[in-house]
C-alpha cells in the first residue's frame, strides 16, 4: 500500500496525515489542495471529481482522511462515504458541503462520515476538523465549539433532527 502510516508514527511527528479530496468543482479542489499544503502535518495524496473515482482512489491510496463533497456525480457523497467506510477502514470521511440541512448532515454521518464541514466555514475550522478526526489529543486542545443555526421554526420532528445536526456540525 502506498505510504499508509500508523497513528503511532503520526504521534511521534514522523508521518503527515494523508488527505484525499473528492469534489466535482475544480476550484474547490485547488483551494483545498493549497490549504492542505499550507499545513506541514498534512499531505495531499490526490483528488477525485466523482464518487466512483473517490472510492477507487481511496482504495488505492489508503488516505487517513477523505474530504468528500456531499453532492457530486457518480452516486454522490452518500454512496462514496458508505463504500470508503466499508472498504478502506480506518480511513476517516469528512463530509464537505454547501448544504447544511439536517437530513443531509444526518445522512452523511449515517453513511460513515466522521465529521461534516459546511463549505462556507473558515479554513481554520476545516484544518481543525481534519486533525480532530485523527488525533484525539488535538481535539482536546481546541476551544469550545460555536453553535451553527441551521433552520428556524420547524415542526417538532424536524426540530429534533436539527438539534442532532447542530451537535454534529459543532462537535
Q: What is the pLDDT of residues 110-131, one digit of tens each?
A: 999 999 999 889 999 999 999 9
The predicted-structure confidence for 82-107, as pLDDT tens digits, reads as follows 999 999 989 999 999 887 778 888 99
Domains contained in the chain, number:
1
Domain for residue 159, yes or no? no
Whether 66 is covered by a domain: the verdict is yes
- Give the model confidence (pLDDT) of 4-44 as tens digits: 443 434 544 569 999 999 999 999 999 999 999 999 999 99
Is the per-residue pLDDT at 78 higher than 60? yes
**What is this structure's pTM?**
0.74
Let me know if residue 100 belongs to a domain.
yes
Q: 119 is in which domain, residue-wise?
A: 7-144
Residue 157 lies in a domain: no
| CATH for 114 | 3.40.50.2300
Burial 76-100 (b: 16+ CB within 10 A, else e): bbbbbbbbbbeebeebbbbbbbeeb
Angle at 104 between CA 79 and CA 53, to 5 degrees: 25
User: Between β-strands 65-69 and 17-22, what pairing exists: parallel, antiparallel or unpaired?
Assistant: parallel
Within the chain, strands assigned E span 17-22, 42-48, 65-69, 92-97, 113-118
Amino acid at each position: 500500500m502506498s505510504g499508509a502510516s500508523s497513528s503511532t508514527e503520526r504521534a511521534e511527528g514522523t508521518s503527515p496525515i494523508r488527505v484525499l479530496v473528492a469534489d466535482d468543482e475544480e476550484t474547490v479542489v485547488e483551494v483545498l489542495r493549497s490549504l492542505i499544503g499550507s499545513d506541514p502535518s498534512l499531505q495531499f495524496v490526490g483528488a477525485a471529481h466523482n464518487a466512483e473515482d473517490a472510492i477507487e482512489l481511496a482504495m488505492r491510496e489508503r488516505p487517513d482522511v477523505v474530504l468528500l463533497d456531499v453532492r457530486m456525480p457518480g452516486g454522490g457523497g452518500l454512496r462514496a462515504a458508505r463504500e470508503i467506510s466499508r472498504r478502506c477502514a480506518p480511513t476517516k470521511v469528512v463530509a464537505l458541503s454547501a448544504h447544511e440541512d439536517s437530513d443531509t448532515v444526518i445522512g452523511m454521518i449515517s453513511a460513515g462520515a466522521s465529521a461534516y464541514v459546511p463549505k462556507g466555514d473558515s479554513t481554520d475550522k476545516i484544518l481543525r476538523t481534519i486533525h480532530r478526526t485523527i488525533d484525539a489529543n488535538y481535539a482536546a486542545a481546541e476551544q469550545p465549539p460555536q453553535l451553527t443555526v441551521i433552520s428556524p421554526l420547524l415542526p417538532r420532528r424536524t426540530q429534533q433532527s436539527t438539534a442532532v445536526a447542530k451537535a454534529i456540525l459543532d462537535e
